[in-house]
Each structure stands twice: as C-alpha cells, then as structure tokens.
Amino acid sequence: VEMVQALKVGVGTDAETAVGPLINPQQLAVVERHVADAAAKGADILVGGERLIDLGPQFYAPTVLSNVNHDMAVMNEESFGPVMAIMVVKDKAEAIRHANCLPVGLVATVWTGSRARGEQVARQLNMGMVWINDSIIYVGVPQMPYGGVKEGGWGRHLSHHGLHEMTNTKTIVSTDSEPQMWWFPYSEQKLSMTRMFFEMTMN
C-alpha cells in the first residue's frame, strides 16, 4: 500500500510520472464502476478509489482492493486502469482455477521466487500471454506476439504472427490431365485402393 501511495500520478511528459490518465472518459467510467461495485459487495479499498480532479478530468488514483471475489465485476472484466484487486487463495491450484474461469484471457503475470514453478503455472493458465516476474516487457520486444484468448481478443499482432494476421493463405493444386483415383466414376477397385492408401498413411 505504501508503495502504491508513493506512485506519482501525472502527465507523460514528466519523467517522474508513474501513472498517467485514463485513455478516455468511457474507460474512466469503467474503472469507477468496478471500484464502486467491489466496495458495495464487501471489498476493502486500501488506497485510492477516487478521481484526481485537480490533475485533470481523466486521472484516477492508483487503487488497491482487498477481500474481492468473483461476484465482483473487477474480477470478471478488464479494467484497463490503475486498479489492483487482491484475492487470497489457499494454493496455486486454486489460483490457476480462478484465473482460468475468467471470461477474458489476454495476459497474466506470475510473481514467484522460483522460475521453474513460475513456468509450471504459466503453462496451465489459459491466457494469450503469461509474463513471469514482469508486466510490460512486450513494449520493447516487437518480436514477441501479442494477443489474447476467449473474450480477451482474437489473433496476434507484433512478430511474424502479426504479419500472418494481415495475409490470406491461398492453396493452388495442379495435376496432370490423367484421370485421378478420386474422380467419377467410382468402383470397387478405386475403393480398395483408397482404403489401402489410408491404411498405409496411418501406420
């Protein structure tokens, strides 16, 4: 909480700014709705939870929520704002289960002192991206594909995967003029040859 309180909120042209404004009024409304909904359903606001009107119309204080659960919108929808929701679980299996039940699946971060444990958890998360002990590394790595699953997005951008998203694959097949086995008319001989072919390819 103390570290969040120490974050400087301001404009991006200030080198010391850690948190900037929301991208538009609509997104600010989403953040406010999430925080209000969580508080109404029993979450505790440990820090933040309010607009910073003095800075401008779209600034929101970095916020930490505790005692959250999956009945709250903040745990089921993407906030895209300075809100951290803390939910206590008994073990990593429960954490993975809660994460995978979400309707969205853009990105997850795993924070751990064990790289092996982090990679084990990452492989079990149904997310488009998982970062271990990091959060925004993709910004400086254009070779890294970016994209989600479920309601978290479709397709990928960045890397060669992003280029593939902007292309159409075309298949062209050319044969000689001789009749092919799969052409009409059909016969028992063609059927036997087809069965033999598939048996050979499957063995």
Asked if residue 62 and residue 17 are part of one domain, the reply reads yes
Asked if residue 79 and residue 26 are part of one domain, the reply reads yes
Q: What is the pLDDT of residue 180?
A: 80
Give pLDDT tens digits for 147-159. 999 999 889 999 9
Total domains in the chain come to 2
Q: What is the pLDDT of residue 95?
A: 97
Asked if residue 113 and residue 75 are part of one domain, the reply reads no
Asked if residue 94 and residue 27 are part of one domain, the reply reads no
105, 127 Cβ separation under 8 angstroms = yes
Bond from prior residue into 185 cis (ω within 30 degrees of 0): yes
Asked if residue 94 and residue 16 are part of one domain, the reply reads no
Among candidates 151, 96, 160, which has minimal Cα distance to 128?
Answer: 151
Asked if residue 82 and residue 11 are part of one domain, the reply reads yes
Q: Is residue 187 part of a domain?
A: no
Give pLDDT tens digits for 2-53. 999 999 999 999 999 999 999 999 999 999 999 999 999 999 999 999 999 9
Asked if residue 76 and residue 115 are part of one domain, the reply reads no
Asked if residue 2 and residue 52 are part of one domain, the reply reads yes
Q: What is the CATH number of the domain that holds 142?
A: 3.40.309.10
Give pLDDT tens digits for 117-152. 999 999 999 999 999 999 888 878 899 999 999 999
pLDDT of 202 > 80? The answer is yes
Asked if residue 36 and residue 10 are part of one domain, the reply reads yes
Domain residue limits at 79? 1-87
Q: Is residue 148 part of a domain?
A: yes
Q: Is residue 185 part of a domain?
A: no
Asked if residue 82 and residue 2 are part of one domain, the reply reads yes
Asked if residue 98 and residue 18 are part of one domain, the reply reads no
Asked if residue 79 and residue 35 are part of one domain, the reply reads yes
Q: Is residue 188 part of a domain?
A: no
